[in-house]
Chains A and B, each alone.
Chain A
Amino acid sequence: MSAVLQSLVNQPYKHGFVTEIESDIAPKGLNEEIIRLISAKKNEPEWLLSFRLKAYQKWLTMTEPKWQNVQYPKIDFQEISYYSAPKPKKKLASMDEVDPELLRTFEKLGVPMHERAALAGVAVDVIFDSVSVATTYKQKLAEVGIIFCSISEAVQAHPELIQKYLGSVVPVGDNYFAALNSAVFTDGSFCFIPKGVKCPMDLSTYFRINTEGSGQFERTLIIAEEGASVSYLEGCTAPRFDTNQLHAAVVELIALDNAEIKYSTVQNWYAGDENGVGGIYNFVTKRGLAKGVNSRISWTQVETGSAITWKYPSCILRGDNSVGEFYSVAVTNNYQQADTGTKMIHLGKNTRSTIVSKGISAGHSNSSYRGLVRIAPTAEGARNYSQCDSMLIGDQCGAHTFPYIQVQNNSAKVEHEASTSKIGEDQLFYFSQRGIDAEEAVSMIINGFCKDVFQQLPMEFAVEATKLLSFKLEGSVG
């Protein structure tokens, strides 16, 4: 790997700082007591406590998955603190009352949220550590009957919806990390779009992991009723730490007849330093149920951060004619490891799915695409198209593709395409011979490579994604 490429891909993480806010931290360790404490702190109804305890019992019987193509030291789940909340000085009625230190943090991240909310028309449900401290535009959304709030709030205000849908797509015992999340989740977002309502704006959440050593167990639930549609944006950055932080989120989406949910993520959590020390462990379960006829669930993700990414946003296409989409860019550098992909489970007739995955590996990193396309016997006329492209920068990194295809209905049509390319000296030389320096060249090549995915992102998110890739792969040419 040339010196130019080396310096391009080795730019330090720009969001490494810790905000000093008094935190309310639970003692380390996981047991029934802690779960009861979390539930009590949040004043939860009895059924939710039993949901958590059931998940915990399941989790105790499970073992950590070993099939993924990533390596990491064993996680000591008793060394993690499962609850941490910023202590607000008083009850918050508006953004002005939010801790100024917290607001400064957002500013450092380039998220002037109040402005952003006003100018861009985005409602920002700010998550700081595990508890929501401010929600904007809630009332405007409420006028059309949309509920957009923290999941803890929803538990208090709309218990019937939570009870009906929580765990309906990702059951408590679905997998090791989902079971852990179900037992100890502290907060997250809830979004409900009633029948026939098209959400008038993109809904956005900025996650931020803070307090060192506190696990993050977010829980997100989005429901689009018959004929409803919503576009949801999730963006993340985290401060720099040397000890690894575990993140195990669960996201569930439910689309009823003719409903549409578009879920977009830009993730730039701390990935560890150039020697692979530190960084977030990101074990996420994301799944959408296209329950109704003609429903559509679309996942778009730009994954640039975390030391380890283990994530397979999936679609269960149960409704006839339902559509599932997965568009992904995963960038790994230094010693990052990503094992990511999707599952498209075709159950209904004439269900369609599209998978476009772009993996970019640099440094000593390893990136794997892992995907499953399953056509059930009931899925008459189902179709899938998958495209998995990998790009290598330098010669120390790896890219792998593990596509699984199971077809049990012979009327189905499944296509899979894959390619591997490399940014090499010759490509950079071509640009430089036209007067373009290496930094701009790499940025242009990468953005071109990711175009199919970026054009799926909402406009302002696409800009942010382009910037994040630049953070990741550019720097001063030395």
Chain B
Amino acid sequence: MIDKNSTTILSVQGLRASINGTEILKGIDLTVKSGEIHAIMGLNGSGKSTFAKVLAGHSAYEVTGGSVQFEGKNLLELPPEERARAGLFLAFQYPIEIPGVANTQFLRLAYNTVQAQRGKEELDPLEFDDFVREKMKLLEMKPDFLERSVNEGFSGGEKKRNEILQMALLEPRLSILDETDSGLDIDALKIVANGVNQLANKNNATILVTHYQRLLNYIVPDFVHVMQAGRIVMTGGKELALELETRGYDWINTNKQSVAGVTA
């Protein structure tokens, strides 16, 4: 999907961040353009989920250096809700349960908030109901899901599908999927991947944060980045993921210098 007319959506330079005084991100550089799908891979503790949360603005992390431009704006200056309204979406690794709040209520509030920001029409409950049911078909979700409390008692697969549904509703410019594949059986994985593929287009971009190559069989990335100890240590095309799968992460340590001739 790489296109000559693509524009830069995200530009990260030398990003450093810490939590409780411990530095997790130690200088990350990444550029994401419209129409691109990037995969960020790495072992547990390499900082990939932290990177996702820092971009979304989680208050537990302190940014200690570097810069992040999102659609030409200084992302680091914006509170998390404004980042979301500006079109940055994070699909959570562990979606939060909200007892007593019906999914439809939550989804509509989120949808209308973003619509208002974009100067577009907000939907009343009936209009929204039609709209959301249409989107739900994409993810093969049962209608009763709308009346259930947000993520409460959902299976792992249902929670992840709910994240992708929100992505479908909010139509972000940049979607960051944090370990969306973890805890999914193969059928759920296919449904989720299919949803993500259908939502990807030449105007938006996707970052997949994942531990395993498996997801990348279904969502084919343009770039694969490997993270280690808070840095991106290797970048390549989709074949890099396969290489990692067969050779393991240890292989990286001996080949850091021999990065393939692709830059992102």
Binding site for B on A (CB under 8 A): 2, 421, 425-427, 429-437, 440, 444-445, 447-452
Measured between beta carbons, the chain A residues less than 8 angstroms from B59 are 2, 425, 429
Instruction: Determine whether the beta carbon of A434 is less than 8 Å from that of B101.
Output: no
Q: Pick from B105-113, B238-246, B248-256 the stretch touching chain A.
A: B105-113
CB distance from A148 to the nearest CB of B (A): 35
Measured between beta carbons, the chain B residues less than 8 angstroms from A437 are 81
User: Which of B60, B81, B92, B100 touches A435 (beta carbons < 8 Å)?
Assistant: B81
- The binding surface of chain A is classed by DSSP as helix
Instruction: Determine whether the beta carbon of A425 is less than 8 Å from that of B60.
Output: yes
Cβ proximity bits B62-104 to A, threshold 8 Å, 1 near / 0 not = 0000000000000000011101110001101001101111000
CB distance from A387 to the nearest CB of B (A): 12
Q: Give the residue name and chain of the B residue nearest to A429 (CB).
A: B58
Measured between beta carbons, the chain A residues less than 8 angstroms from B79 are 432
17 A-B pairs (CB sep. < 8 Å): A425-B58, A430-B95, A430-B96, A432-B81, A433-B57, A433-B80, A433-B84, A434-B113, A434-B166, A436-B109, A436-B110, A436-B113, A448-B98, A448-B99, A448-B149, A449-B99, A451-B100
| Cα of A133 to Cα of B57 in the assembled complex, Å | 56
Instruction: Determine whether the beta carbon of B101 is less than 8 Å from that of A435.
Output: no
User: Which of B98, B109, B117 touches A440 (beta carbons < 8 Å)?
Assistant: B109
| Cα of A431 to Cα of B89 in the assembled complex, Å | 12
Q: Give the residue name and chain of the A residue nearest to B58 (CB).
A: A429
Instruction: Determine whether the beta carbon of B170 is less than 8 Å from that of A434.
Output: yes
Instruction: Determine whether the beta carbon of B58 is less than 8 Å from that of A444.
Output: no
CB distance from A362 to the nearest CB of B (A): 18
* Apart from A444-B98, A448-B100, A451-B100: 19 A-B pairs, beta carbons within 8 A: A425-B58, A425-B60, A426-B96, A430-B98, A432-B57, A433-B56, A433-B84, A434-B109, A434-B110, A435-B85, A435-B110, A435-B170, A436-B110, A445-B98, A445-B101, A447-B100, A449-B99, A450-B100, A452-B100
Is B114 in the interface zone, CB < 8 Å from A?
yes
CB distance from B85 to the nearest CB of A (A): 5
| Cα of A97 to Cα of B106 in the assembled complex, Å | 48
CB distance from A307 to the nearest CB of B (A): 28
| Cα of A450 to Cα of B98 in the assembled complex, Å | 12
| Cα of A436 to Cα of B90 in the assembled complex, Å | 14
Measured between beta carbons, the chain A residues less than 8 angstroms from B95 are 430
Instruction: Determine whether the beta carbon of B98 is less than 8 Å from that of A435.
Output: no
Instruction: Determine whether the beta carbon of A444 is less than 8 Å from that of B81.
Output: no
| Cα of A444 to Cα of B102 in the assembled complex, Å | 10
User: Which of B84, B99, B105 touches A434 (beta carbons < 8 Å)?
Assistant: B84
| Cα of A431 to Cα of B90 in the assembled complex, Å | 11
| Cα of A447 to Cα of B109 in the assembled complex, Å | 14
CB distance from A448 to the nearest CB of B (A): 3
| Cα of A448 to Cα of B109 in the assembled complex, Å | 14
| Cα of A425 to Cα of B84 in the assembled complex, Å | 16
Q: Give the residue name and chain of the A residue nearest to B100 (CB).
A: A448
| Cα of A252 to Cα of B174 in the assembled complex, Å | 61
- Interface pairs A-B: 7 shortest CB-CB: A448-B100, A448-B101, A434-B110, A432-B80, A430-B96, A451-B100, A435-B113
CB distance from A447 to the nearest CB of B (A): 7
| Cα of A74 to Cα of B162 in the assembled complex, Å | 55
Measured between beta carbons, the chain B residues less than 8 angstroms from A440 are 109
Measured between beta carbons, the chain A residues less than 8 angstroms from B89 are 433
User: Which of A429, A444, A449, A451 touches B80 (beta carbons < 8 Å)?
Assistant: A429
CB distance from A438 to the nearest CB of B (A): 8
Chain A CB count within 10 A is highest, among B60, B79, B99, B113, for: B99
CB distance from B78 to the nearest CB of A (A): 11
| Cα of A431 to Cα of B92 in the assembled complex, Å | 11
| Cα of A447 to Cα of B80 in the assembled complex, Å | 23
| Cα of A86 to Cα of B106 in the assembled complex, Å | 48
User: Which of A421, A430, A431, A435 touches B114 (beta carbons < 8 Å)?
Assistant: A435
Q: A434-B113, A435-B114 are in contact. Are A447 and B101 (CB under 8 A)?
A: yes
Measured between beta carbons, the chain B residues less than 8 angstroms from A433 are 56-57, 80-81, 83-84, 89-90, 92
Instruction: Determine whether the beta carbon of B96 is less than 8 Å from that of A444.
Output: no
| Cα of A435 to Cα of B56 in the assembled complex, Å | 11
Instruction: Determine whether the beta carbon of A444 is less than 8 Å from that of B84.
Output: no
| Cα of A431 to Cα of B95 in the assembled complex, Å | 11
Measured between beta carbons, the chain A residues less than 8 angstroms from B117 are 435
CB distance from A173 to the nearest CB of B (A): 42
| Cα of A423 to Cα of B192 in the assembled complex, Å | 29
Q: Give the residue name and chain of the A residue nearest to B152 (CB).
A: A448
Instruction: Determine whether the beta carbon of A436 is less than 8 Å from that of B81.
Output: yes
CB distance from A421 to the nearest CB of B (A): 8
| Cα of A409 to Cα of B120 in the assembled complex, Å | 64
Instruction: Determine whether the beta carbon of B170 is less than 8 Å from that of A427.
Output: no
Instruction: Determine whether the beta carbon of A435 is less than 8 Å from that of B96.
Output: no
Cβ proximity bits B155-183 to A, threshold 8 Å, 1 near / 0 not = 00000000000100010000000000000
Measured between beta carbons, the chain B residues less than 8 angstroms from A445 are 98, 101
| Cα of A444 to Cα of B108 in the assembled complex, Å | 12
Measured between beta carbons, the chain B residues less than 8 angstroms from A434 are 84, 106, 109-110, 113-114, 166, 170
| Cα of A234 to Cα of B115 in the assembled complex, Å | 40
Measured between beta carbons, the chain A residues less than 8 angstroms from B90 are 433
| Cα of A431 to Cα of B83 in the assembled complex, Å | 12
Q: Give the residue name and chain of the A residue nearest to B56 (CB).
A: A433
Q: A2-B59, A444-B106, A448-B101 are in contact. Are A432 and B96 (CB under 8 A)?
A: no
Q: Give the residue name and chain of the B residue nearest to A454 (CB).
A: B100
| Cα of A266 to Cα of B96 in the assembled complex, Å | 31
Q: Give the residue name and chain of the B residue nearest to A451 (CB).
A: B100
User: Which of A429, A432, A444 touches B109 (beta carbons < 8 Å)?
Assistant: A444
Q: Give the residue name and chain of the A residue nearest to B59 (CB).
A: A425
CB distance from B3 to the nearest CB of A (A): 28
Q: Give the residue name and chain of the A residue nearest to B92 (CB).
A: A430
Measured between beta carbons, the chain B residues less than 8 angstroms from A421 are 99
CB distance from B115 to the nearest CB of A (A): 9
| Cα of A436 to Cα of B109 in the assembled complex, Å | 7
| Cα of A441 to Cα of B81 in the assembled complex, Å | 11
Chain A CB count within 10 A is highest, among B59, B90, B105, for: B59
Chain B CB count within 10 A is highest, among A426, A431, A444, for: A431
Measured between beta carbons, the chain A residues less than 8 angstroms from B110 are 434-436
CB distance from B166 to the nearest CB of A (A): 7
Chain B CB count within 10 A is highest, among A2, A425, A429, A440, for: A429
